[in-house]
A and B are shown apart, each in its own frame.
Chain A
Amino acid sequence: MKADVRAIKTPAEQALGAAFLAARAEMPGKGPVAKLREEAFRRFDASGLPHRRIEEWKYTDLRALMREAKPLAGPVKSKGNVPLLPGVDASRIAIVNGRYEPGWSLANIHDPGITIVELFAFLEEQFAYRTGDIPGKDDTAFCLNTAFMTGGAAVRIKKGARVNRPLHIAHMFVGDAAAAMYPRSVVMVEPGAHLTLIESFAGPTDIDYQVNSALELVIGEGAKVDHIKIGHDGNSALRISTLGVTVDANATYRDFSFTIGGAVVRNQTFVRFAGEGTEASIGGVTLIKGRQHVDNTLVIEHAAGGCKSRERFRTVLDGESHGIFQGKIVVEPHAQKTDAKMASHALLLSDGAEADNKPELEIFADDVQCGHGATAGALDSALKFYLMSRGIPEIEAEALLIQAFVGEAIEDVADEHIREALMGEAVTWLEARG
């Protein structure tokens, strides 16, 4: 019997439905964009919020974790500052309450290689682009972002442009009462161009705001892109971020996500290697404590042969936190000579913490090298004893080992200023623990 009955909607699902009906007439984007919203909403409405019986969302049951849908965040009247990464000189694009705010952004983007326009201005001119096959487009959370998208930035890096200064898309929520925001940005790096892109998320503590963000990243042939995502959300926030990446041939793509904030966070990354000869490293570090829940989900599609990808994720869990890594590598039948290796390691600092690792390989080609490894465990007592026997007190020995554990992953970040800033964040987190 196929009893996929979804008669009862949760309060959150009902609220999302009501919000869509109420807002759709005023939401930005006409014609094809409105149609896209309608379609996306219908898809969401048919499936509802993902729950534990949906394999991709097995460990992050949104029906249970998202009890209510907050009202849509309004635009901010005042002008403020976006948080920066210490020591990192970047051009800033502020996305405040789900909208691109040029007034908040640092007007230092004079690089002729960069064009930035507001999302909907871009969509009206370039709609054809959106009809493309975005990796991750079938995901329910991504459909919700499409249905509600409130704004964002569309960035184009011109062919061959070498953008030296990192570009920082800073998302933030400003407000006294919980609200929901659906930012959506598009970054197109044309063939041969170089870009370091920082994406950050921040908001106030003790307010249970909700973020459902999406970023489409299109990497042209021979381009070189470093994307660093930093999750600094307030301690009560719920954030779901979808990253859809298409990488053309002979490109270099490095992705790193660093998460320390938020009550419930899901970073879902969908990458498609669409051209041959690309090299990619995709990794992340998550440091959580208390009752934080952070899910890093990755789907890598090797749709073209001869690409090399390395996935390296590390999670440190304290208190009663719950960390999840799901990584799936799909190698299509014609994607011969694929070289993909995935590793996920979790370090449990307390008895109450839980780590789930779910690596998956789906290989349809016969001449490939693919592998994965996953571990979860406590700090190595032999290592700890070795350090202590040299005079390093226990808490410092632990901090040094944890720092080393995350540091090995942070090493993958190419920009040394960003790397140092992230290491600094990790050290601060460790100091707060001790």
Chain B
Amino acid sequence: MAFLEVKNLHVEVEGKKILNGLTLSVEKGQVAAIMGPNGSGKSTLAYVLAGKDNYKITEGDVLLNSESILGMAPDERAAKGVFLAFQYPVEVPGVATMTFLRTALNAQRKTRGEAEYSTPEFMKLVRDSATQLGISQEMLRRAVNVGFSGGEKKRNEILQMAVLQPKLAVLDETDSGLDIDALKIVADGVNRLRLPERSIVVITHYQRLLNYIIPDVVHVLANGRVVKSGGKELALELEAKGYTQFQGEAA
């Protein structure tokens, strides 16, 4: 059984059908890339996995480690190991990044019945990851994402991933809005977090990110379903030929 099983998922947003029988498996330790044109349902899939409101699931199921997560609130899913790196991380005025990280980590651990991190342990965890991602102590003291550049926000997402140590990380267009240097920092951060027991879903429109985060498998999404799956070479093929071939096929 794969770690993540998306089975025949049908999802509507405000009466509009976005996902049309999407089926997808991601193995433990696998890095799966999901590529597709705009409007193919990539971000919807990401949000549905994380448990955002306003997505109506009309059919299908999502299993994490053989357990359905669709009835769970976002925080319960997080405690089960689901993490979404947002395409557009929101600014949280008045909540210092350190406070936010500590509250989140300890809330998850509490839900799982684990002991809270001690302050020195926690500080070390954050400091080590922050240093690798080029996030300064000053940024950690600031309110979450407030006044951060696009690149800083994305790095902050990866920092959260490093601290929260999810079992399933979904990166929603983490490459969007990044210049090449920022992209490398973020990709290096993700690569350091590749572990045999962690599944990673990399959602992207462009192949570029996949030069840095090499996927084990590539799925092509069009019109709300997976229309083709293959190895990493599929990404290069898409880069060369574009998505039009699949859009026609799926319709």
Contacts and interface: CB of A to CB of B under 8 A. Distances in A.
Interface in A373-424: 380-383, 385-394, 396-397, 400-401, 403-405, 407-408
Nearest to A404: B94
Contact of A393 (B75, B92, B100): B75
B163 to A, nearest CB: 9
Interface in B24-79: 50-53, 73-75, 77-79
Interface in A195-253: none
Contact of A386 (B73, B89, B103, B143): B89
A403 B51 CA distance: 24
Nearest to B77: A389
A384 to B, nearest CB: 9
B107 A392 contact: yes
Given A381-B53, A386-B86, A392 B103 contact: yes
B93 interface: yes
B160 interface: yes
B108 interface: yes
A405 B95 CA distance: 9
A381 B143 CA distance: 18
B78 A389 contact: yes
A390 B100 contact: yes
B111 interface: yes
Contacts of A387: 92, 100, 104
A393 B86 CA distance: 19
Contact of A405 (B50, B77, B94): B94
Nearest to A408: B94
A206 B94 CA distance: 35
Interface string B78-107: 110001101001101111000110011101
B75 A404 contact: no
17 contacts: A386-B89, A387-B92, A387-B104, A388-B74, A388-B78, A389-B77, A390-B78, A390-B100, A391-B108, A391-B111, A396-B107, A397-B75, A400-B100, A403-B94, A404-B92, A404-B95, A407-B94
Contacts of A408: 93-94
The number of chain B residues touching the other chain, given as a range, is: 20 to 34
B139 interface: no
Contacts of B86: 386
A381 B53 CA distance: 9
Q: State the main secondary structure of chain A at its contact with B.
A: helix
Interface of A: 380-383, 385-394, 396-397, 400-401, 403-405, 407-408
A391 B92 contact: no
B104 A383 contact: no
Contact of B103 (A380, A389, A400): A400
B75 A388 contact: yes
Contact of B50 (A389, A396, A404): A389
- Interface-centre pick from A381, A386, A394, A401 (highest chain B CB count, 10 A): A386
Given A396-B107, A404-B92, A405-B94, A390 B164 contact: yes
Interface of B: 50-53, 73-75, 77-79, 83-84, 86, 89-90, 92-95, 99-100, 103-105, 107-108, 111, 143, 160, 164
Contact of A394 (B73, B79, B111): B73
A405 B111 CA distance: 26
Nearest to A402: B94
A385 B164 contact: no
A385 B103 CA distance: 15
B90 A386 contact: yes
Contact of B51 (A381, A383, A389): A389
Contacts of A388: 51, 73-75, 78
A401 B107 contact: no
Given A386-B89, A396-B103, A391 B78 contact: yes
Contact of A391 (B89, B90, B164): B164
Contacts of A396: 103, 107
A396 B99 CA distance: 13
A382 B95 contact: no
A387 B105 CA distance: 11
A394 B75 contact: yes
B107 A393 contact: yes
Given A391-B111, A392-B103, A392-B107, A385 B78 contact: no
Contacts of B160: 390
Nearest to B74: A388
A7 B99 CA distance: 61
Given A381-B53, A385-B52, A396-B107, A391 B93 contact: no
A383 B86 CA distance: 12
Given A396-B103, A400-B103, A401-B95, A389 B90 contact: no
Nearest to A396: B107
Contacts of B75: 388-394, 397
Nearest to A385: B52
A381 B51 CA distance: 13
Contacts of A394: 73, 75
Query: 5 closest pairs, A vs B, by CB?
Result: A404-B94, A391-B78, A391-B108, A390-B104, A388-B74
A430 B111 CA distance: 21
B103 A404 contact: no
B160 to A, nearest CB: 6
A389 B157 CA distance: 12
Given A391-B78, A394-B73, A385 B104 contact: no
Nearest to B51: A389
A174 to B, nearest CB: 38
A407 B78 CA distance: 27
Contacts of B95: 400-401, 404
Given A389-B83, A392-B75, 16 more contacts: A381-B53, A385-B53, A386-B92, A387-B92, A387-B104, A388-B51, A388-B73, A388-B75, A389-B78, A390-B108, A390-B160, A391-B108, A392-B104, A392-B107, A400-B103, A407-B94
A383 B53 CA distance: 12
A386 B84 CA distance: 9
A381 to B, nearest CB: 7
